[in-house]
């Protein structure tokens, strides 16, 4: 599980599913709750990420979003590659 001081948290389960609560995925967006499936992507560069396949209706998306991997203890959302990080989550426990 990963969380932050603002109440956001995401749980990546071993069965390939996830649940997120209080997560801000885009600049200026309100925190939201959503769930679905996840898959770790390693494109062979420093930009490893976790692809979150959001369930139908979640976030109003068809498809998914990327949760970037800073290191094994820190994940973050960044809606604009040239912009700032929208939310950072640290490994809990």
**Cβ neighbours of residue 33 closer than 8 Å, sequence gap 6 or more:** 19, 20, 21, 22, 23
pLDDT band at 46 (very low <50, low <70, confident <90, very high): low
Residue 60 has pLDDT above 70, yes or no: no
pTM above 0.95, yes or no: no
Give the single-character DSSP code of 59. Answer: G
How many C-beta atoms lie closer than 10 Å to residue 11's C-beta? 15
Nearest Cα to 32, choosing from 19, 41, 42, 44?
19
Residue 47 has pLDDT above 60, yes or no: yes
Compute the C-alpha angle 61/26/49, nearest 5°: 80
């Amino acid at each position: 599980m990963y969380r932050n001081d603002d109440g956001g948290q995401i749980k990546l389960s071993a069965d390939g599913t996830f649940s997120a609560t209080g997560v801000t995925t885009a600049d200026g967006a309100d925190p939201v709750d959503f769930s679905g499936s996840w898959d770790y992507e390693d494109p062979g560069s420093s930009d490893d990420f976790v692809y979150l396949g959001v369930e139908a209706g979640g976030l109003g998306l068809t498809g998914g979003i990327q949760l970037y991997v800073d290191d094994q203890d820190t994940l973050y959302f960044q809606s604009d590659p040239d912009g700032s990080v929208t939310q950072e989550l640290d490994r809990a426990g």
